[in-house]
Each structure stands twice: as structure tokens, then as C-alpha cells.
Amino acid sequence: MRWTSPWRILRRIVSAATPRRRPAALVTTGVLLVAAALPACGLVRADPPRPEAERQPELWTFCPATGGGPCAELGGPSQDPVGRTVRPDGAPDPPDRTPFTTLQLNLCNSGLAACYATLNNGRAVPEAYAAIMALRPQIVTLNEVCRDDVVTGLYPALARGFPGDQVFWAFQPTADRLDASRAYRCHNGEPYGVGILGRVRAESWAGLSVFNGLYPQQGDGPDELRVWLCVAAIANYYACTTHLTFASASVAFRQCRHLLHVEIPAMRTAVGSAAPVLVAGDLNLRDGGTPDVRDCVPAGYRHLGDGDVQHLIVSGDLDLGPARRYPMRHTDHSGWHVSVAP
């Protein structure tokens, strides 16, 4: 077979076409020739850039200073969390004094508890994501979650809500009762514990630090060893969460007092900032219960409970505004959404 030049083929097609159809023949044939001339490997599809909130954040690890237990992780901020404490001119950074809201969530997402099979089945995290997007809280405290729920499941929701600010996540695994240095695990193998999502306005950013630990008081039973987690958003606020034991109300009360009367004062002294304190979580204690959760609240602090076991406790330099139980269909706890004003 004799090879025929593509240009000769083009001339034949155009010559055979009627004068009225010659422009269309030229266009069609030209497109075919150009496509045929492209090398097979010459077309490369470039994936669109991933949104900043979906990129894997850099991680920082914070191990408990005393008492042992698993280490906590911090991620998310675009700047190193060990930030400045004063501006270059020597003046202190202005703290953020804008009113904001907090959201406490217990998601029952270990895959082990009875509430997972009856209510959750993997649906609580997407439901929590939607709640964060709708409510736009500045601080979210998370109980009964797996590590990945915090890092890839819910952190992007807060990051998308405040794209110009510093947004962080922190996660503290609970401890395995057989080896307190190891993380207790969700059914899927992920570390299980508590978490915090937070936002700091860009102009108020002065760095972060993490404080965490294992309670010296632990209830008996097969459940995990309980922990506490605090993030110091330097010169702005201290945000803490915990999920106290359900095995014994008296032990839960001692854990509550240990966090609020021992660990938080020590943290404020270590940081050297008088920024306000917020503690939210499932305390497994009730108003008017025995013991009464209100007897755990330090003098000068304010407290607002959801009528069940979830509570927000804040230092006296914060005012508590409107609060509501936010409906959650796929966990056995409503969200606890509270307005706060410095």
C-alpha cells in the first residue's frame, strides 16, 4: 500500500465538496488532522488544587507533663503554633473580644457503644459537620470521637467557615486500661478520645499551646481511662474538654474538681495569660445530682448545663448568653450550643 500524505487527503476532500460545503470540510478535516498529529502521551489532565482546608495539616505532638497517658496532637494553623506573645513594637497583642458561640458534641462514634448501632452507624460525623457549617461556632468540643473524625471529618467544616483566620484542631486519645501509655481504640482501629476545634482571628493570633493528661482518679470497669485536653490560644482564650467516667458519679466529681481546681490554674500560670477559660464536655454529672456538678465549679466561674450531663463552665470574665439544645438524630446527645460574650 502506498503512503498518502495527509495534505493530499485534505485536498481531495475539499475538491470533492461543493462550494457551499467547502468551509465546513476544511474545518472538520483540519480538526481531525490536528488530533491525529498529537502524541498519545501529550494530553495530561491536571487535577484541580485541593482546598486549603482539605490538605493534610502539619502535626505537633504534646505528651502529658505528669501522670503519663497517650500524647495529644495539634494541627491546622498555617503558622507555627508557638507564636509570639508581643508585637514587634513591644505592645501586647490585642485579645479578641468579639462575642462568639461554642458547640459541645458527644458523637458516640467509637463503634463499640450500644448507641452506635442503634442511632449512629457512621452518620453522626456528617451530621456534626452540617451543624458546624450551620452554626459557625468559634470553639467546638468533641467527645466520643475517633482521631480521624476530628482531623479529616470535622476540622474542614470549621476551616471553611473562617477561611481568613487561624483554625486548629487538637485530639487527645483516652488510655487503654491494660497499658495507660497506649491509646484506647475505636472499632475501626483509630485512637478514640476527645477533641477541640478552634478559631482565632488573624489579627489576634499569638500562638497556641496544648495541655493534657490522664486523671489520677479513675473509675472501675471495662471502659477506657479518662483524660482531659486544653488548648491555650495565647492572649485569647483557654478551651478545654473532657468526658468524665460514667462508672462512678463520685469519681467523675473528683475528676471534675481535679481539672478545674488543679490543672487549669496550673495551665494559666504556665502560660502567664489571664485570658478567659471555657470548659465544655460530657461530665456525667447533673445539676442537683448527687454529687451536684455545680459544687465542682470554682468560685467566680459561671456554669450552664443542658439539663442532662453536658455542661459549659467559664471564667467570670465571660458572660453566658442564649443557649439551646441542638437536635442531633444520630447520637444519644443533643448538641449544646451556647453564646458567649467577653
Residue 48: asked if its preceding bond is cis (omega within 30°), the reply is no
Which grid cell is 272? 502567664
Annotated domain spans of the chain: 6-37, 53-341
Which residue shows C-alpha cell 505528651?
A: 63
Asked if residue 108 has pLDDT above 60, the reply is yes
pLDDT at 17: 47
Pairing of the two strands 139-146 and 59-62 = unpaired
How far, in Å, CA of 332 to CA of 326, rounded? 12
| H or E stretch covering 281 | strand 277-282
**Closest listed residue to residue 138, CA positions, set 333, 318, 327:** 318
pLDDT at 127: 97
Asked if residue 281 has pLDDT above 60, the reply is yes
The whole-model pTM stands at 0.81
Asked if residue 7 has pLDDT above 50, the reply is no
pLDDT at 94: 59
Asked if residue 92 has pLDDT above 70, the reply is no
Asked if residue 213 has pLDDT above 70, the reply is yes
How far, in Å, CA of 264 to CA of 277, rounded? 8
| H or E stretch covering 31 | helix 22-37
How far, in Å, CA of 338 to CA of 335, rounded? 10
pLDDT at 97: 72
Mean pLDDT of the chain: 84
Which residue shows C-alpha cell 479513675?
A: 218
Which grid cell is 268? 494559666
Question: Secondary structure of the chain: what % helix, strand, coil (to 5)?
Answer: 25, 30, 40
Looking at domain 53-341, which of 2.40.50.180, 3.40.190.10, 3.40.50.620, 3.60.10.10 is its CATH number? 3.60.10.10
Alpha helices (runs of H) in 87-150, residue ranges in sequence order: 114-115, 124-135, 147-148
pLDDT at 83: 52
pLDDT band at 30 (very low <50, low <70, confident <90, very high): very low
pLDDT band at 14 (very low <50, low <70, confident <90, very high): very low
For 217-254, what is each residue's pLDDT tens digit? 999 887 899 999 999 999 999 999 999 999 999 999 99
How far, in Å, CA of 279 to CA of 230, rounded? 8
For 59-73, what is each residue's pLDDT tens digit? 899 999 877 899 999
pLDDT band at 41 (very low <50, low <70, confident <90, very high): very low
**Closest listed residue to residue 291, CA positions, set 258, 244, 254:** 254
